[in-house]
């Protein structure tokens, strides 16, 4: 039996590849897909009669390379909203703050958001008094546009 397995290692790698693909379908993390890629690469080398120790090494290298190179690209394509990055200033949109200097239609005021002070204008010319709670709806340069919170 051992002789059969060693002479048909491609079959072992094929079973490992198929098993990893089946398990990947139940997890959806793409980690097992990377191991399936490693097993698929090992199938090719087992058909070329490469020694077992080298096949295992190739499997490990191909799997790790897939995890480091292929998986991040797949995750960015499948879940772009999760992996998009906002600048710190753009992350202000949707945050709430408190007016510390009144905002009028004719002159901007200041709001405090997470401990930082920002020059602010009211959305559609809205006015706010000191102490009002506001939400940031837009940012242009160093000026945020705010609306009534809630």
3-state secondary structure of 30: coil
Average pLDDT, integer, range 26-35: 90
Together in a domain, 9 and 35: yes
Q: pTM of the entire structure?
A: 0.54
Residues 70-115 pLDDT 10s: 888 888 888 776 656 666 667 888 899 999 999 998 899 999 998 8
- Same domain for 14 and 79, yes or no, is yes
Give yes or no: residues 79 and 14 share one domain. yes
Query: Looking at the structure, do residues 117 and 63 belong to the same domain, yes or no?
Result: no
Mean pLDDT, the chain, whole residue set: 89
User: Of 83, 98, 133, at which residue does a domain stop?
Assistant: 83
**Confidence at residue 76, expressed as pLDDT on a 0 to 100 scale:** 83
Distance of CA 83 to the CA centre of its chain: 3
More confident residue, 133 or 8: 133
Distances, alpha carbon 131 to alpha carbons 55, 71, 108, in Å: 68, 48, 15
> Which residue, 54, 51, 24, is CA-closest to 36?
24
Regarding whether 68 and 18 lie in a shared domain, the answer is yes
Q: Cα separation of 102 and 82, whole Å?
A: 36
- Unique residue bearing structure tokens 């190179």: 69
Domain count of the fold of the chain: 2
Q: What share of the chain is helix, strand, coil (3-state, %, to 5)?
A: 55, 25, 25
Domain around 35: 2-83
Residue 40 pLDDT > 80, yes or no?
yes
Both 52 and 112 in one domain: the answer is: no
Examine the domain organization and report whether 29 and 55 are in the same domain: yes
- Domain finish residue from 83, 110, 136: 83
Together in a domain, 62 and 23: yes
Q: With 90 as the cut, is the pLDDT of residue 135 above it?
A: yes
What's the CATH number where 141 sits?
2.40.50.140
Which of 48-52, 76-80, 86-90, 127-131 is predicted with the least confidence, judged by mean pLDDT? Answer: 86-90
Query: For residue 3, what pLDDT is reported?
Result: 77
Residue 132 pairs in a beta bridge with none
Phi, psi torsion values for 131, nearest 5 degrees: 95, -15
Using a pLDDT cut of 90, give the percent of the chain over it: 65
């Amino acid at each position: 039996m051992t002789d059969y397995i060693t002479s048909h290692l491609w079959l072992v790698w094929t079973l490992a590849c198929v098993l990893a693909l089946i398990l990947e379908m139940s997890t959806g993390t793409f980690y097992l897909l990377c191991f399936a890629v490693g097993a698929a690469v090992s199938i090719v080398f087992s058909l070329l009669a490469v020694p077992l120790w080298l096949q295992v090494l190739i499997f490990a290298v191909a799997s790790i390379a897939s995890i480091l190179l292929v998986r991040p690209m797949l995750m960015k394509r499948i879940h772009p909203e999760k992996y998009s990055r906002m600048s710190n200033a753009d992350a202000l949109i949707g945050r709430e703050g408190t007016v510390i200097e009144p905002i009028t239609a004719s002159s901007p005021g200041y709001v405090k958001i997470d401990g930082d002070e920002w020059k602010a204008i009211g959305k559609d010319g809205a006015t706010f008094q000191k102490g009002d709670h506001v939400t940031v709806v837009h940012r242009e340069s160093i000026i945020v546009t705010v609306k009534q919170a809630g």
